[in-house]
Homo-oligomer: A and B are copies of this chain.
């Protein structure tokens, strides 16, 4: 595996080594295949009959890609065995993406500080096996400890506050904890968390787990080390923290305002409950995918605002999806610098190299293209309008898992499209970014310069 060699092995031709992009694709593809096979077993369903292939494939992809879109109801369709499989797929997908993205971050980060803090030796430009083991161990410990704390908090509340018996409360607590921390959005309840819309305990614990998982491991690691000294934060941590707080606040404000008089969502709630539900909805667009409100009953303006928030997504190298706040933040800084007439793009006291800016542009443009193409295809394949099709496409691509309710009734070709979209949305931005960043750039002779008018 290329990541383990001292000199990047994918640059040596005709060796047995593979490019990280291939490793990621093969790894996730294998997990989806295995998951599909296991979910196709009769024992995986409550009815004892084999699930149709498309449902098994859809559910496995949705779980591995921690998306949370479902064609069948998780709690009533799948057996306990099936639910455990889903949980394991979520855990594998979440750990996998977090590990690979973190290793990639360490590998391409030219900042010795981040490398030094993570790794024993910081003088080399590559990772060896002990580095990889160290990172994997830290991530596994971080994930399992976080999930355990959340599971206990939720199980206690389900048992003590909602009168569930002990064993179901524990099962629900564990399932929702893993699902929340990994930003998977799967729920054993048919209505997700609508039943807990006014429960601050459940809402805040789940939202906390979602945000923690979605910040990304390198950012959490850096914050744990030097959260008191923002001046020392890396560009990635700065962008992630500032944009997470900004987007959460903005999302809460917009969704609370647009839905406050909607009788099918926030209307019946009291003032503080409105704010809690608005905050929860805002958190879930980044890209957790639980819902405590009926998304299908939301106003078009709320859906559009959610589309934007979902598309931006969460932090890099975490369990969240979307183009990532770092990509969005970098583009915002490029725009800002351009407007101010700066020659360079500076974030904090660091300069962002032009190749890094172009990577952000590439990720954003290809993502916009993918979402528009998928929306177009969905509108052609179904009789749903732009509103619901766009929401579904963004939700699948950004691995959010929220839906206006159309997922279960789509034709098979639309299900397949969503499978592809979830897969592409999960591994696409990362593999693209890694392929772009790790590649050797060939400098050729320079052509004469010519500028053209734009706009």
Contact = CB atoms under 8 A, between A and B. Distances in A.
A376 B449 contact: no
A377 to B, nearest CB: 9
A323 B317 CA distance: 33
Contacts of A133: none
Contacts of A109: 450-453
A380 B316 contact: no
A286 to B, nearest CB: 16
A338 B452 contact: no
A290 to B, nearest CB: 24
Contacts of A304: 372, 375-376, 379, 386
A52 B9 CA distance: 72
Interface in A430-445: 430, 432-433, 436-437, 439-444
Interface of A: 101, 104-105, 108-111, 218, 234-236, 239, 258, 299-301, 303-305, 308, 316-317, 323-324, 326-327, 330-331, 334-335, 337-339, 341-344, 346-347, 349-356, 358-363, 365-366, 372, 375-376, 379-380, 385-387, 389-390, 428-430, 432-433, 436-437, 439-444, 446-455
B450 A351 contact: yes
A303 B379 CA distance: 10
A202 to B, nearest CB: 30
Contacts of A330: 452, 454
Contacts of A341: 436, 439-442
A354 B345 CA distance: 12
23 contacts: A104-B453, A110-B450, A111-B450, A111-B451, A218-B453, A235-B452, A236-B452, A236-B453, A299-B379, A300-B385, A300-B389, A304-B376, A316-B453, A338-B358, A339-B436, A341-B441, A347-B450, A350-B448, A351-B446, A351-B447, A359-B454, A363-B454, A363-B455
A362 B339 contact: yes
A398 to B, nearest CB: 12
A218 to B, nearest CB: 8
Max chain B CB contacts within 10 Å: which of A110, A111, A380, A386?
A: A386
A447 B361 contact: no
Contacts of A335: 361-362, 365-366
A342 B445 CA distance: 11
Nearest to A238: B452
Nearest to A299: B379
Which 5 residue pairs spanning A and B have beta carbons closest together? Answer: A429-B455, A433-B455, A350-B450, A327-B454, A363-B455
